Amino acid sequence: MIRQMTKSKEATLNLDLGKRDFLRLSAMFGMAAIVGFYGVGEVRAAEWRDVDFNAKNLKDTLKSLGVDDYTMSTDITVDSAEIAENGAVVPVSVSSAIPNTEYMAILVEKNPNPLATAFTIPTGTLASVKTRIKMGETSNVLALAKVNGKWFAASKEIKVTLGGCGG
Amino acid sequence: MAQPMRIRAKLKGDEVEAKILVQHPMETGLRKNVDGEKIPAHFIKTLVVKYEDKVVLESVLGIAVSKDPFISFSFKGGAKDGKLSVTWTDNLGETRTDTVTVD
């Protein structure tokens, strides 16, 4: 009798464990589903992510942003002066003439962290943004645009007379 | 205490042109002061622009955005006297919102 009780207790325990495992598993699947949902094809520019901004070279930054491949396009423009006298304040305009551009990013290839800034562009807003960035040295500046899950880019070399990352 | 932004929103044809100048040090955390001590990072991370209740631009910023960030862009669907508001949040959790009416 006692043995039976113990057995049934064990069974209950096992069942509890089973339940817990099930819950844990479903929680994990749930998380995976959420990560999958946001990770693939979703624009998440409004979210400030360490991995994007702390990436130390262009390749890692592109990888972090989810850019597997991009096409250089004349529909994308990076506009600035050829020479920036002060690297601390470099006016740059980026724009995309491709309809439904949903996201644009500005990357400075030779900065310690290439990603400077990025914009999510809702319907009704023109994919053309002007801002001012810091550049440590003469570098290619890449404008990236995301359109219907595809990436397009343009690049321009901006010469810097006085670097702007130290001061 | 965060300084007010300077925002201009001007109706040009069917587009509103917004020009935003934020007063913020945008300290990288990489610089040192005269005593050789690191100046702590202090920079804006996100900036959201709304026209009435609709988001018209969302931006994430890193330390490579210049001191006193400037952003200019245009959007459709705005009208004279409509309200444009800009909200930023920095890495120290400080936030500020300023609102202007479209000229």
B37-59: pLDDT as tens digits? 999 999 999 999 999 999 999 99
Residues of B in contact with A146 (CB under 8 A): none
The whole-angstrom distance between A62's CA and the closest CA on chain B is 15
User: Which of 110-149 (A) contact B at CB < 8 A?
Assistant: 111-113, 115-122, 124-126, 128-135
Q: Which residue in A139, A36, A108 sits closest to A118, CA to CA?
A: A108
**What pLDDT score was predicted for residue A105?**
98
| DSSP state at residue B52 | T
Under 8 Å between Cβ of A163 and A114: no
pLDDT in tens, A44-67: 446 899 999 999 999 999 999 999
Residue type, B26: M
Quote ipTM for the complex: 0.95
Res. B18: pLDDT tops 90:
yes
State how far the Cα of A134 lies from the Cα of A116, in Å rounded to an integer: 8
In sequence order, what DSSP letters do the residues of A62-101 get, joined into one string?
Answer: HHHHT-S--EE-TTEEEE--SEEEETTSEEEEEEE-STTE
Average pLDDT over chain B, rounded to an integer: 96
